Structure 1
């Protein structure tokens, strides 16, 4: 009984630590800069959407939003596709060779992103892909592919090998087994990985800051820096941009939470 009460108290405190700042940010989006500095913790005088309209009408937010959507979706789907192929290959090959391939991709997770900044910039610059969404997507895919391979290969190794062997005996080739067996069974893990990658790419600031300077190529995190000045920060507009940027992540999790939870718990219990 005491354990249950203590658990509920901790969960309540944790929920408040999240809800209180989010609520304050939400209310600030309906204030002007003067109102925010005058009463940072108070309620707005009116609940109009002037800041939201202003972002799209005066700040080119529609372009930034669409750039983030394109970069994120293409990066996630492409990474998942190639990572699932590699994970399936590692599972099918097995043995020493499969372990070596897995180790090569795992090494890619050990190198901090900051260490690769200069050589990566030189590579992208020499390829003529700076200020290009294509270049940004290629960088995102190459950086997050090892993480996706690590997660998906760990799940696919739990799939029964007897199922693959039975399909092979029935005459199915590896491509057919991958499409009809491995992918459907791995959907929970794929969905969990997709959500994880979506958050990484959507919130990424380092690589857009490194490769993008043109205004029409900026993504949302990079565009939000415009509201921060050396002496004054437009917090109402900044928080409005944060709310807009957070909406796709919240919706994605709400639609895929069932798969996300299943993917996080998959393989933890073996029959």
Structure 2
């Protein structure tokens, strides 16, 4: 009984740790700067939508949205295409070669991306990718590919080899086996990987900060830095931007929740 209540207390404290910052972000979006600095934790009085109106009127927020959508969709689709192909190759090769390729990509998870910032920027500048959305997409794909391969390779190992061997006997080539068998069977796990990648790319600040200079090509997280001044930061506007930026990810999770849970539980039951 003591362990049960201790576990509940720990869960409650953990939920409170998450809920309190979320509460502050939500209520601050509906406060004026004066109200926010006077009572940061109090309910907004008066309740105002001025921050949202100002953001959409004074800032090219739709342009930032479009940039984020282009970068996120382009990066995630390319990640899933390349990652699923590599994971399938690892599964089909098996043995020492398959394990060696998997170990090579797993090693990419060990090196923090921050360590590679200078070489990445230098290479991107030489190739003419700096301050280009397609350059940001390619660099993002390169940095996140080990993560994608690591996730999808584990799911691919759960595929039935008998089904693929039966398809091979019927004359199906590797591309047909990949597109007609492996991808449909891996759909829940690919959707789960897509959910993780969407959140990572959509909220990424470091790589866009490294690659993008022009204001017209800013992504949403990078655009939020405009509300941070040298001496004064407009926190209500900044937190309003956080709310606006989070809405697409919340909607995405609601739509993909079924596939997300299915992907996480894939392979937990066998037989």
Choose 178-187 or 237-246, whichever is displaced more.
178-187
1:71-103 Cα offsets, whole Å, 9 max, x none, are: 011100110011101111111111222222222
Partner of 1:163: 163
For residues 23-42 of structure 1, the aligned pairs below 5 Å read 23-42=23-42
Partner of 1:261: 261
* TM-align CA RMSD: 1.5
Partner of 2:112: 112
Partner of 2:235: 235
1:18-66 Cα offsets, whole Å, 9 max, x none, are: 2222122111111111111112122212333221121121022211121
| 1:265 positional shift | 2.1
Secondary structure of 2:152's match? helix
Segments of 5+ residues of structure 2 without an aligned counterpart are: none
Q: Distance in 1 between matches of 2:2 and 2:162?
A: 47
Q: Distance in 2 between matches of 1:30 and 1:178?
A: 50
| 1:221 positional shift | 1.2
Secondary structure of 1:45's match? coil
Partner of 2:202: 202
Q: Distance in 1 between matches of 2:103 and 2:2?
A: 46
Q: How many residue pairs get matched?
A: 271
Partner of 1:125: 125
Choose 6-15 or 237-246, whichever is displaced more.
6-15
Q: Distance in 2 between matches of 1:256 and 1:126?
A: 39
Secondary structure of 2:244's match? helix
Q: Distance in 2 between matches of 1:136 and 1:229?
A: 26
1:161-213 Cα offsets, whole Å, 9 max, x none, are: 11111111122221111112111111121111111111111111111111111
Q: Distance in 2 between matches of 1:169 and 1:56?
A: 59
Partner of 2:146: 146
Q: Distance in 1 between matches of 2:90 and 2:42?
A: 56
Secondary structure of 2:44's match? coil
Partner of 1:135: 135
Q: Distance in 1 between matches of 2:73 and 2:208?
A: 16
Q: Distance in 1 between matches of 2:24 and 2:100?
A: 50
**Is structure 2 residue 69 aligned with structure 1 residue 53?**
no
TM-score by length of 2: 0.95
Q: Distance in 2 between matches of 1:3 and 1:164?
A: 48
TM-score by length of 1: 0.95
Segments of 5+ residues of structure 1 without an aligned counterpart are: none
Partner of 1:246: 246
- Whether the aligned pair in 1 keeps the contact of 2:32 and 2:48 (CA below 8 Å) is no
Partner of 1:178: 178
| 1:119 positional shift | 1.0
**Is structure 2 residue 226 aligned with structure 1 residue 226?**
yes
Which ranges of 4 or more aligned residues in structure 1 deviate by more than 6 Å?
none
